[in-house]
Structure 1
Amino acid sequence: MDRLSSLQRRLRRMIIPTSLKRKLVNVLLLSTFIPLLLIGIISYTSMHTILENKITNGIHSNLQQVRVSLENVLGNLNYASQNLAFDGRVGKDIYAYMSNDHPYDRKSLAGKIETEMNLLTSTNPNIGLMFYYVQGTNRILFPNLQVREGIDPDALPVFTKLQDMTYYGPHQTLNAQFDRKVMSITRKIDYPDLEELYIYMETDNRLVDTVFNKMQYGMEVYHLIVDTDNRIAYSEKPSAFPVGMKLDPKEEGSGRSVYGNQYVFEEASNQGWRVVAVIPMKSYKHEILNWFMQFGLVAVVSLFVSLGFAWLIWRIVMRPLTRLNREIRLMMQNQSQGKLQLTGTDEFDYSLRCFHEMKGTVIQLIEDIKENERNESRLEVEKMISQINPHFVHNTLDTIRWQARLNGQEDIDHLISTLNRVLHYNLGKGETATIREELEALKDYIALQEIRYQFHFDIRISVPEEQLEIRIPRFMLQPLVENALYHGIADDGLIRVDISREGRHIRIEVSDNGAGMSPEEAERLLQGDDSAHKRRGMGIGMPYVIRTLKYQYGKSAGIDIQSRSGEGTSIIITIPSSTTGKGE
């Protein structure tokens, strides 16, 4: 359940952001993206129709120009061929030449015919090769240019026939001097009593390239010429549309058809043949795709601009909030800041000044409270010390007095020496001492107590040699041992003093095998309940230890009582080893 709740919270934060930065980014992105999306849908619908009409009309216009150009070319060939026909000027000379057997006359007529054909060529620059030929034998007469060998005009691709004329689609020129595509016609001349004679005439070598100009479309295009039988007579892409193939595209509307993955546009001539433009769909849609990419680029730029504005607004708002948050963290950590950094925004600067002043006042109050607590703790400790020392001196002097009565004068010197050492240490100045000094004072104190109470008890001290120079609070061990001696054990009892280093702390444990106490009593003693101290007969020793630790180490020190009734008591103190307290 906890994992499910955590997952639900994460999803909710992803969907509904909680940070100001994410909210600003989302709002600006939505305010930019939604209008762009709506404008894009409307624009795409409108522009798609406009561009479709533009492209389709442009293609049909170009095809119409091609059709008109081809009709003009064929019309020009038709007109020029009439001069070579039977009723034309050259045609009559041809008939005279063919029907005359006199060599001189034939030679004269041949010269005249060549001159007239050259004149016809020079006055019609769109006409290229032309000649007469005899069908069946393909014997060529009066060519104006050099003719390829082995030609057969009847094998050329036919795309329409009208009466005695045959029109041929673009094919390889029969001119031996060039290698280009041309259009041509053949015309039959009906001479009485003569073999079948035909006129062959083709366009100029550059004319077809000019008519089928692909550059005017602005895209990839292939031209076809389809004859009256719906078969391809000419193809610029024979691999996909071979000559002789029957073209049967699927009507789509908008003035175009579809054949595979290509669009087909047609323009029909008055003679029944059609000129066709085949455009791949990818190329056809290229202009629309370019517009869409341009719109997408504008949209992306707009989104980045929105992100930039979001970042700018975030900086304008978040920088002051960050500084205010920094002031709050410093206050929580009880740290002060030297100079207040303003934001340059009046509203935020006013709040920062007010908070900075409030923070200074609060920090000063906290310091005053701490100082008062330290002074109060010091007074209490000094008061306890002043109470402990007279009490100890009184008991020691009383012990010396009774010893003198019972045993004579020989032990008084030793007793007084020991007492002087104890008094010198306990009344000494400074708040800390080394463990070695504390243990020597403790041994003198135990010697005095053995003399005083006249019963034997065993005290065992365990501390590593290398730790004897570590400083701990002065007069720390004696009150703990005194409590164990007075209130914990009887004759033949055992007191253990164990001091060890654990990481960065010093651990001091004083334990006995005496009467012990309940956990409730131990807890009350640790909480400073004076009534509990009085009930246990502990006087001021234990409160002194607790308050000394609190004064010198604060929360860095710890004290714990582990005890069970009838099994003994252990008092465990831990203090930092990296410091010696507040004074030496």
Structure 2
Amino acid sequence: MKYRKTFRTRLLILFLGGTLIPLLLLTAVLMSYFNNRFEMQSEQMVRNTLVSMQENISNYAEELRDFSISLIGYTEVMDFYQYVNSEDYYKISDDYEYFLKHYHYRKVIQKLLIFSDSNIMGVGFAPLDTPDNAYHMAYKNMNISVTNDYPYRDEPWFESAVSANGNFVYISQNNWKDIAGSENREPVFSVIRLARNINNQRSLGIIKVDASFPRLKEIFQEMDTGANSCLMLLDEQGEVIYATNPRFDTLAASIPDDGETIEIPDDRLRVYSEAIPITGWRLAYLSSGRDIAQQSQPIFILGAVLSALTILISGTIYAINIRRITGPVNRMIERMKAVEKGDLTTQLDVADNVNDEVAVISRNFNHMLQKLEVHINNEYRAVLSQKNAEYMALQMQVNPHFLYNTLNGFITLNRLGEQDKLEKSILQLTGLFRYTCRNQDLCSLTEEVHFLEDYLALQKLRFEERMQYQIEFDETYRDFTIPRLLIQPLVENAIIHGMEPKAGLTTITIAIGSADRDGESYLYIRVMDDGVGFNMQRYKDSKRVGVKNIEERLSYFYEDAFFEIDTLPGHFTTSTIWIRLTGEEGGYENTIG
């Protein structure tokens, strides 16, 4: 009764340690994973969007730059700029020439403005060598406006353009005055450059192409920012050109580099930035931690609900099935202990109307014990000689520790709910018992290989990741007859002496095929493992019983057969059975006498 109680307690601990705690840990890991995954995807989306916006803004700036470049390609435009900088322009000695210059210039500019981007508002020209501040502004579908009251020489953009010495300068003006002096709060995006005489490279003045902001606003609408996040466009001085959330304008001057964070009351902002090389500006996205948390909240709620439901369902199933599992298994273990002590008359009580997996194992166990007793009493002890009795005893021996460990593995599978794997393992154990209980001395290689597959699969169930195996079988010899259970002791030795002392993974390989040796064709049966190996001299001095039995059985059944072992301590062990083949044209003939 004490053992049954302990066994039940262990199952409960197994349930808690194998299901509840891993489930909670798995839930926490999954929630953390999906949250990190979501943040990574959000970050990647933000960066991709910033790159796309940077390209769009750069393309827009290039369009304005190309428009500005196209102006100097027209003779009428350059003639007008040279005329404005000449003394003839201020003498106004020839009204017709003045009219003609203005007419041709206005005609070209209007044509360019009409067929250009709709956001381009107009083209301004600020002469350098003039006695007054005569600023010329050409708007779409309007005459050229000239004013002497616009102090363009005092504007920062004028000095920047002169200092740039012909390179393009990009500016944005949120509050500006037109040439009539009217206040205008609509943002303007301008590209400015110094115009020179093509022939003598003499500086003529500043060309200023103005564009309205709707195009840039459309670009900003590509990104859906959260309620607590903000997307900004900053100029070279860190001033805000445009922001989706004006309450963050005060942070513009202190925005750090890409990937860093800003701590503000009740929130933490992560900075993603993308430079716009053509303009010298910078896109900055301030991602709010509160927005990320709000988007991740459903993941945490769903994980908590699923964890609670899983614990409830698994706990209910555990409570219902614990008694059904522990009772029969405990009785089976008690019978196995009796068998281990040599009592083959013990039997497991199995109801006729029960056909579950444990009942199938119990019936086969009873049948196996009956067959064992019959063989031991009627054949091995009475009929065969002492040597033959040793061979058959080796064939019929079933290691109770192997059964004990296998059944414990079944309990674990049942506890973990792996019913398909449990059913497959039970069928493998049943097949193993059935094969072991057959009243035959010989078998085909196919039957022996099938037995080894079941045996290794059950061992794999016990050792899990510590063991892997593979079988390489030449189907040409599938019907070749060998003594039953000839190979199993070699596989068992590979597990016990090669794998169990090793801490890491061990691979066991069974290879069956043919090879030429000393001019003769041989069938080889090779068992290899990359385990700990052993000292070859010690093996020669004292061979183990299993190896001696294999050698004796080979000499008993075959005329030309022998056994070899090759090993390297700490690296591998290879055991090979060689059986000479007879026949013509690659065929074979069994040589069992």
Q: Name the TM-score class by shorter chain.
A: 0.3 to 0.5
With the length of structure 1 as denominator, give the TM-score of the two structures: 0.40
With the length of structure 2 as denominator, give the TM-score of the two structures: 0.39
